[in-house]
Amino acid sequence: MNHLALIEKTQSLIAAGDIVGAESALVELADTEGDHALMVVLEQLPPKDILAVIREYDPSKESIINLMITPEQFARAVVIEKRYKDLSRTHLRGMVNSIIFRDEANPLEFLTALGDLDGGSEALADYFSEKWSRIEAFARTGRFDAVDDDGQRLTETELLASAYAKPVVDQDEVADQDWMELAWLLRYQCPDIFTEMLIVLRAKSSLFDAGLEEFTEAEEGDHKVETGDTDRGRITPAALESEEESAI
């Protein structure tokens, strides 16, 4: 199959809202020409189109796209997910979990790629938005039990210092392939990214307190708010220049 023709077909299907059709076309390519051919095509698709496919994660089936995407492709897609304005973060969490915790993947490679990208810390903050108070508790005590602490929280310096402390709970105790395990990996394996992510979460909360941002409340009462891009990322992907043309 002509790869250029397939790329054009995939983009046309996505623009028309036929995400299932676009994914089927990519799966057919992998079935007929192999995984390498699929990787070649994925490398040429813009982040907005890869995002359109992988964010429609279906836990009832395995997606070859999610299995083949690289950490860099994943990061470039995740940082623009916020343009969907999905305050529930359902798609974001499903997409992140299905890719970072896929079989034989190294979660740290994906987290590092995301942390190094402009907007990566914000995307992670959005991922944890429903668990804000429990992430604060984890940063402070090493456990996920949110308690009434009269607003006490670690300073940025204390955050960096505590991140290198011995874990209070082992990874096996929180190996849920969900937010707890992801938070554990960030704090103890990528402490600088964890600190930046938590700072963004706090910024979102402050904006809400100032009445500058909309928010919804999760069942646990944690804040979910919007904010602008973070400035932690060291890489700005040129491919994002055309993101306004996406089918979002």
φ/ψ (deg, to 5) at 225? -135, 165
Residue bearing tokens 């009269």: 150
The conformation of residue 130, written as its DSSP 8-state character, comes to G
Q: What is the three-state SS of 163-200?
A: HCCCCCCCHHHHCCCCHHHHHHHHHHHCHHHHHHHHHH
Q: Average pLDDT by consecutive 10-residue portion of the chain (248 residues)? A: 84 92 92 92 94 85 88 96 90 94 94 96 94 90 75 79 84 95 95 93 74 45 35 38 42
Identify which of 152, 155, 135 has the alpha carbon closest to the alpha carbon of residue 144.
135
- Token pair belonging to 200: 């963004």
**pTM for this prediction:** 0.81
Helix 179-189 to helix 132-141 angle (10° resolution) is 40
112 CA to centre of own chain = 11
pLDDT of residue 61: 77
pLDDT of residue 235: 38
Q: Measured on CA atoms in the order 14, 112, 185, 175, is the torsion positive or negative? A: positive
Nearest-angstrom CA–CA distance, 206 and 132: 12
pLDDT of residue 36: 92
pLDDT of residue 88: 87
Long-range contacts of 208-216 (CB under 8 A, 24+ apart): 216/87, 216/88
pLDDT of residue 1: 54
Task: Check: CB of residue 119 under 8 Å from CB of residue 77.
Answer: no
Angle 38-43-44 from CA coordinates, rounded to 5°: 100
Nearest-angstrom CA–CA distance, 179 and 191: 16
The conformation of residue 117, written as its DSSP 8-state character, comes to B
pLDDT of residue 74: 97
pLDDT of residue 222: 40
Per domain, the residue ranges of the chain are 1-45, 46-231
pLDDT of residue 148: 57
pLDDT of residue 87: 84
Residue bearing tokens 């209070």: 168
